[in-house]
């Protein structure tokens, strides 16, 4: 079976078809280029009709100046309690019946004032008896003295023996010894009478009254409690390294319910507290109208730290990498102010301000508030300086 051959198109037709295709392609490209040029011209004309944008007004900011200092003061607070300089519980050294109580709770007394007394009638009766016995012995002693003188005179004249003189002399000595014994008993009675009275050992206020008039009390039983008027002290425990910085010439202060009271150092107790590992410090109040005893307050100690830096408000700080902070500063460049960044480290903060050190210079301007509104290199306009 013989295959039939496909007839070939003439060469000139193929050339004409390819040429037509090329012409159409070139015409399409030319049309596209013409449309693009026409669009650009239209856009240019429209852009020319639009007013040029005005220059942006620089952001208005307030600045403050950094003041570099050699150090800062840290206020440290320690709890303590106010106490009386002296406090005592009074009692009789001997038992008996309370004859009178001259004071009540809350009364103030002066040193030496009589506050309580026992019934002393038995003691006074004993004193009366001793005085009577002494007078009797004095009479006998006078008689013995006269007899001794007479016997001595008779012996010198040869009418009395030495034995008779010795008898009356020894009798006189015995009577004098008995008088001395009674005198000692009278001293004991006087001491008992003195100890039957309670007198205030110092200017004080009566804090408690344990018994009433007519009560029978034993030796050593509590009758009254006294607290010294004035001389209150502030008692606080401090670490040994802090105690070593205290001075008798420095002034301190304690805070009670928002009120400040001046203090002066009184003494430091020698022992170290085994539980808190602190030493007890006593400070005297310098003034009147003090808080009540046993009221808890706070001792404020101001310690100086030598470290160069400057104070800035917390609102001026922004977070920075590696635990640092950044401060937005202002620098004058080509007659305009631009924003710069300084890295700082916070050394201390009191809640409103921070004491920082960093790459800034003394007297440099910085933005104290709203540093997030600006970026480094931005031009700003200064409206004024804070503070």
User: Are 326 and 310 in a shared domain?
Assistant: yes
Question: Last residue of some domain: 195, 216, 236?
Answer: 195
User: Are 99 and 221 in a shared domain?
Assistant: yes
Does residue 371 form part of some domain?
A: yes
Question: Which whole number is the average pLDDT over 8-25?
Answer: 67
Does residue 146 form part of some domain?
A: yes
Backbone angles phi, psi at 336, to 5 degrees: -145, 160
User: Are 65 and 107 in a shared domain?
Assistant: no
- The whole domain housing 276 covers 77-85+227-305
User: Are 291 and 168 in a shared domain?
Assistant: no
pLDDT in tens, 262-300: 999 999 999 988 888 999 999 998 877 888 888 999 999
pLDDT score, position 283: 93
Q: What total of structural domains would you count in the chain?
A: 5
User: Are 96 and 220 in a shared domain?
Assistant: yes
Distance CA(69)–CA(348), nearest Å, equals 13
- Lowest-pLDDT range of 36-50, 195-209, 295-309: 36-50
Q: Which two tokens stand for residue 44?
A: 């240019």
pLDDT score, position 387: 55
| Inter-CA distances, 93 with 113, 191, 213, 221, 226, Å | 18, 11, 17, 8, 17
User: Are 321 and 281 in a shared domain?
Assistant: no
Smallest CA-to-CA distance from 123 within 172, 192, 56 is with 192
Does residue 7 form part of some domain?
A: no
Counting residues of the chain whose pLDDT is more than 70, the rounded percentage is 89
Q: How confident is the model at residue 1 (pLDDT cuts 50, 70, 90)?
A: very low
User: Are 213 and 104 in a shared domain?
Assistant: yes
DSSP 83-122: E-S-EEEEE-SS-EEEEEE---TT-EE-TT-EEEEE--HH
Q: Higher-confidence residue: 381 or 139?
A: 139
User: Are 106 and 221 in a shared domain?
Assistant: yes
Q: Which residue has the tokens 């039983």?
A: 221
pLDDT score, position 56: 61
Question: Which whole number is the average pLDDT over 220-227?
Answer: 93
pLDDT score, position 50: 53
HSE-up (13 A, CA, CB side) for residue 345: 9
User: Are 222 and 106 in a shared domain?
Assistant: yes
Question: Which whole number is the average pLDDT over 100-111?
Answer: 92
Does residue 170 form part of some domain?
A: yes
Q: Which two tokens stand for residue 296?
A: 């808890």
């Amino acid at each position: 079976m013989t295959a039939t051959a496909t007839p070939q198109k003439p060469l000139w037709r193929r050339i004409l078809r390819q040429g037509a295709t090329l012409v159409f392609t070139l015409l399409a490209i030319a049309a596209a280029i013409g449309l693009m040029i026409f669009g650009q011209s239209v856009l240019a004309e429209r852009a020319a009709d639009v007013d040029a944008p005005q220059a942006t007004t620089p952001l208005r900011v307030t600045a403050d100046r950094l003041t570099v200092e050699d150090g800062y003061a840290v206020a440290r607070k320690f709890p303590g309690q106010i106490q009386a300089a002296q406090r005592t519980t009074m009692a009789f050294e001997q038992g008996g019946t309370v004859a009178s109580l001259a004071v009540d709770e809350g009364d103030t007394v002066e040193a030496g004032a009589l506050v309580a007394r026992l019934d002393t009638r038995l003691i006074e009766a004993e004193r009366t008896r001793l005085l009577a016995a002494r007078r009797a012995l004095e009479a006998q002693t006078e008689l013995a003295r006269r007899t001794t003188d007479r016997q001595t005179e008779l012996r010198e004249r040869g009418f009395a023996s030495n034995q008779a003189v010795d008898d009356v002399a020894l009798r006189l000595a015995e009577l004098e010894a008995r008088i001395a014994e009674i005198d000692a008993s009278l001293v004991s009675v006087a001491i008992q009478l003195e100890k039957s009275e309670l007198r205030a050992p110092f200017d004080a206020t009566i804090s408690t009254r344990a018994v009433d008039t007519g009560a029978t009390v034993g030796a050593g039983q509590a009758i009254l409690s006294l607290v010294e008027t004035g001389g209150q002290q502030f008692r606080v425990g401090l670490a040994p390294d802090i105690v070593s910085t205290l001075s008798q010439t420095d002034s301190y202060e304690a805070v009670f319910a928002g009120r400040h009271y001046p203090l002066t150092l009184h003494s430091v107790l020698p022992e170290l507290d085994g539980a808190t590992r602190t030493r007890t410090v006593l400070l005297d109040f310098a003034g009147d109208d003090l808080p009540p005893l046993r009221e808890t307050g706070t001792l404020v100690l101001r310690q100086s730290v030598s470290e160069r830096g400057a104070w800035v408000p917390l609102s001026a700080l922004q977070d920075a990498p590696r635990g640092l902070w950044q401060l937005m500063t202002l620098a004058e460049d080509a007659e305009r102010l631009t924003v710069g960044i300084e890295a700082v480290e916070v050394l201390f903060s009191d809640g409103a301000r921070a004491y920082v050190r960093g790459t800034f210079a003394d007297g440099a301007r910085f933005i104290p508030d709203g540093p997030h509104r600006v970026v480094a290199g931005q031009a700003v306009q200064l409206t004024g300086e804070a503070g």
